[in-house]
């Protein structure tokens, strides 16, 4: 029953986003006026596009068509490329999932590990070094961190490429193509990983410090249980609870929020597509991107609740 409530809440939230999505992009601009400002389109061509896309109808009729089309999987066509929005998203999504997915996995492993050891050594030199390093990373804007990496590993020590997913004009296939992509992905992944693991480390340390004050932890230490056993069996599970929430929600936000990283490294993903849609005032594409990002946040929220209940049976019951 509890899970059913969560699913109903997620569904109602997505329905609200669907409605809000339609009116938001009509409040910030008028597609008909934007078409009129395009010097490449004649008046006849503008009228044909307006009629074809139903922009001459009332907003209520446009809204009904928008909801019906969205529910059937049709997100419209891009104003700029005239391709279906779904195809634009499908083409861009794998590149973003590659860097975001790898960065999230690395940050989710390294960040909590750093936080666990910092919290366990609270007040000692190791804690100070790990915590201060995490705080510094946490405070650095992601785009500035990426620029530092470019200066260090692409200019000072020219080891890695600074832009695109592959070498321009490359015709490599198979393993050579995969190696080319991996080489270009190192800096974007490293930038995202460092930005995320700093947050996870700080959250994990705070959770560990709190967990170490619990009576059962003090009892376990008093009776002489090995430190490794205390950390793994008694502290880690409880301390991970708030960190799991942060990781789950971040995954949804990072998918749509990697704009600065993708722009900095010219990485052809969802972030770059969003910038192009904003610059071209491509309202259908912006609607599709906003809906995708919102759906990912909602989906990750539900997934986080499921994982949370696994880690803490009290919530499940």
Q: In angstroms, rounded to a whole number, what is the distance separating the alpha carbons of residues 288 and 285?
A: 5
Dihedral sign, CA of 166, 172, 178, 179? Answer: negative
* Number of neighbours of residue 127 by Cβ within 10 angstroms: 17
Question: Rounded to an integer, what is the distance from CA 124 to the centroid of its chain?
Answer: 34
3-state secondary structure of 45: helix
- Nearest partner of 273 among 255, 283, 291, 285, judged by Cα: 285
With CA atoms as reference, report the closest residue to 244 among 100, 101, 111.
Answer: 111
- Residue 84 backbone dihedrals phi, psi, to 5 degrees: -60, 140
Q: Are 149 and 191 in contact (CB under 8 A)?
A: yes
Q: Measured on CA atoms in the order 245, 292, 149, 105, is the torsion positive or negative?
A: positive
Lookup: tokens for 92:
């861009």
Q: Annotate 124-136 with DSSP letters as a single string.
A: SHHHHHHHHHHHH
CB atoms within 10 A of CB 260: 17
Q: Tell me the sheet residues that pair with 84.
A: 77
Measured CA to CA, the distance from residue 258 to residue 220 in angstroms comes to: 43
Q: Which residues in the chain show pLDDT less than 50?
A: none
What whole-number distance in Å separates Cα of residue 160 and Cα of residue 267? 14
Tokens 């007040």 map to which residue? 123
The SS3 call for residue 77 is strand
Q: How many helices (H) and strands (E) does the chain have?
A: 15, 0
- pTM across the whole model: 0.82
Instruction: Give the side-chain half-sphere CA count within 13 A for 123.
Output: 1
Q: Residue 246's pLDDT is what?
A: 82
d(CA 119, CA 203): 10
pLDDT of amino acid 315: 60
* Amino acid 88: pLDDT: 92
* 185-215 pLDDT per residue, tens: 899 999 999 988 888 998 888 888 888 887 7
Domains of the chain in sequence order: 2-71 (no CATH), 88-146+190-316 (1.10.3720.10)
Helix (H) or strand (E) holding 105: helix 85-120
Q: What is the dihedral of CA 58, 60, 65, 69, to 10 degrees?
A: 130
pLDDT confidence of residue 86: 92
Taking each helix axis from N to C end, the angle separating 174-211 and 142-150, rounded to the nearest 10 degrees, works out to 130
Q: What is the DSSP letter of 317?
A: -
Looking at residue 175, what is its pLDDT?
86
Distances (CA, A) of 9 to 15, 181, 250, 302: 10, 39, 20, 10
Q: Which sign, positive or negative, has the C-alpha torsion 208, 209, 214, 218?
A: positive
């Amino acid at each position: 029953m509890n899970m059913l409530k969560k699913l109903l809440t997620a569904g109602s939230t997505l329905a609200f986003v669907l409605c809000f999505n339609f009116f938001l992009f009509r409040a910030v601009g008028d597609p008909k006026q934007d078409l009129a400002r395009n010097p490449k389109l004649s008046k006849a061509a503008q009228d044909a596009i307006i009629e074809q896309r139903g922009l001459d109808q009332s907003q209520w009729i446009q809204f009904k068509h928008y909801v019906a089309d969205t529910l059937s999987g049709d997100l419209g066509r891009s104003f700029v490329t005239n391709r279906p929005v779904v195809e634009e998203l499908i083409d861009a999504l794998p590149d973003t999932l590659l860097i975001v997915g790898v960065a999230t996995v690395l940050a989710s492993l390294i960040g909590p590990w750093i936080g666990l050891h910092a919290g366990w050594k609270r007040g000692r030199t190791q804690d100070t070094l790990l915590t201060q390093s995490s705080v510094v990373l946490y405070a650095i804007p992601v785009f500035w961190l990426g620029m530092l990496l470019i200066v260090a590993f692409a200019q000072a020590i020219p080891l890695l490429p600074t832009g695109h997913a592959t070498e321009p004009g490359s015709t490599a296939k198979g393993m050579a193509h995969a190696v080319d992509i991996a080489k270009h992905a190192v800096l974007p992944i490293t930038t995202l990983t460092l930005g995320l693991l700093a947050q996870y480390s700080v959250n994990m340390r705070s959770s560990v410090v709190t967990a170490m004050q619990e009576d059962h932890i003090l009892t376990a230490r008093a009776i002489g249980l090995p430190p490794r056993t205390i950390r793994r069996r008694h502290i880690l599970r409880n301390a991970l609870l708030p960190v799991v929430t942060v990781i789950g929600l971040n995954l949804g936000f990072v998918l749509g929020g990697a704009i600065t990283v993708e722009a900095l490294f010219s990485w052809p993903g969802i972030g770059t597509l969003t910038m192009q849609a904003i610059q071209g005032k491509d309202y259908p594409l912006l609607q599709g991107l906003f809906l995708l990002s919102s759906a990912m946040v909602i989906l990750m929220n539900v997934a986080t609740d499921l994982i949370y209940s696994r880690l803490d049976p009290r919530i499940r019951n």
